[in-house]
Copies of this chain bind each other. A is one copy, B any other.
Amino acid sequence: MAHIGEEMKNKQVIFRDYVRGFPKESDFIITSATIRLKLPQGSNGVLLKTLYLSCDPYMRMLMQSQSATNSYSPGSLIYGFGVAKVLESAHSGFNEGDLVWGILKWEEYSVVEEPGKLIKIQHTDVPLSYYTGILGMPGITAYFGFHDICSPKKGEYVYVSAASGAVGQLVGQLAKLMGCYVVGSAGSKEKIELLKNKFGFDDVFNYKEEPDLNAALKRCFPEGIDIYFENVGGKTLDAVLLNMRPHGRIAVCGMISQYNIDQSEGVHNLMLLVVQRIRMEGFSAPDYFHLNAKFLEAMLPYIREGKISYVEDTVHGLESGPTALIGLFSGRNIGKQVVAISTE
């Protein structure tokens, strides 16, 4: 138990340098600084104790030197979504003891000088780690990506790639609740079992065992695909385009297959967007954060009534973080990858 004013060890994860290809453990440095648990004189921020950190695929883009978004700075701490407890607050929006989620630096204790974007956690009858997943950024991504971008209708044919991931498992279950026919793909036997037996996908396939993705999709969707929830990009997208129905929709959430290669694979079948009159739309969860209350109103009952399950893959301690993070890109994790830092 940490007390205000106390001097504490503060483990941190530092970004060594820009990454090419797959990130490796050596791209990160784990150090131990010390921190006095007290907001600096004149601060308007909050002092946080990190409880959970989230490993998300988009973080790979921040490791590029030439990134369309702001990259991590070599020699500085990496950051990502996480859950924390307020130890001290000089900001009118937060009180000691509040639980929050939002962008956090990867360290055990953290001062956030501009905490305005942190979201207060009001519901604690569910696991706190859920605010890195089903009730956090990935949940908002799945909920609005599916309901807003995909414009789903009952009975439509839905395909979800990376379907056991933090977002995919939710999209599949939301689509089932909507009355859609849902097929998911993933890259291991264990994940495939999960899709079928835990999340209730109508059909599944292991993309690593399919020499011909187009044939696999034709087998699973003899009538074609109305909605594709795109998490992987590249060859998968090309195969999907060959199987889309007229007026289909593709919600582009991410393209994890492309993040670790220098030159992304070309997509060749875009002319089918015209032939089939397809809408393909990129989106990003932060555009929906202001609808968090509406989101919770929909999602909390699903959790409480057992209508949606959520599978997490948890490692413990900040020092396990880099391995967990880079595991995303080899598909090591089964379900949402969480790093548990502290439970108090």
Contacts and interface: CB of A to CB of B under 8 A. Distances in A.
Contacts of A237: 270
B274 A263 contact: no
Nearest to A242: B68
A274 B283 contact: yes
A316 interface: no
B233 A272 contact: no
A253 interface: yes
Contacts of A276: 68, 282
A275 B233 contact: no
Contacts of A270: 233, 237, 252, 255, 264, 267
Interface in A186-224: none
Nearest to A283: B277
Contacts of A283: 274, 277
A255 B266 CA distance: 15
Best-buried of A61, A252, A276 by chain B (most CB within 10 Å): A252
A66 to B, nearest CB: 11
Contacts of A278: 281-282
Best-buried of A274, A280, A283 by chain B (most CB within 10 Å): A274
A279 B279 contact: yes
A201 to B, nearest CB: 24
Given A279-B281, A280-B280, A280-B281, A274 B287 contact: no
Interface string A55-88: 0000001000000110000000000000000000
A160 B270 CA distance: 18
Interface string A249-279: 0001111001000011111111111111111
A284 interface: yes
A268 B271 contact: no
Contacts of A275: 61, 68-69, 282, 284
Contacts of A61: 271, 275
A253 B274 contact: yes
A270 B253 CA distance: 11
11 contacts: A61-B271, A253-B274, A255-B271, A264-B271, A265-B266, A266-B267, A276-B282, A277-B282, A277-B283, A279-B279, A279-B280
Given A255-B271, A267-B270, A274-B284, 6 more contacts: A68-B271, A255-B270, A264-B268, A277-B281, A279-B280, A281-B281
User: What are the nearest 5 A-B pairs in CB distance?
Assistant: A266-B266, A273-B282, A274-B282, A279-B281, A68-B275
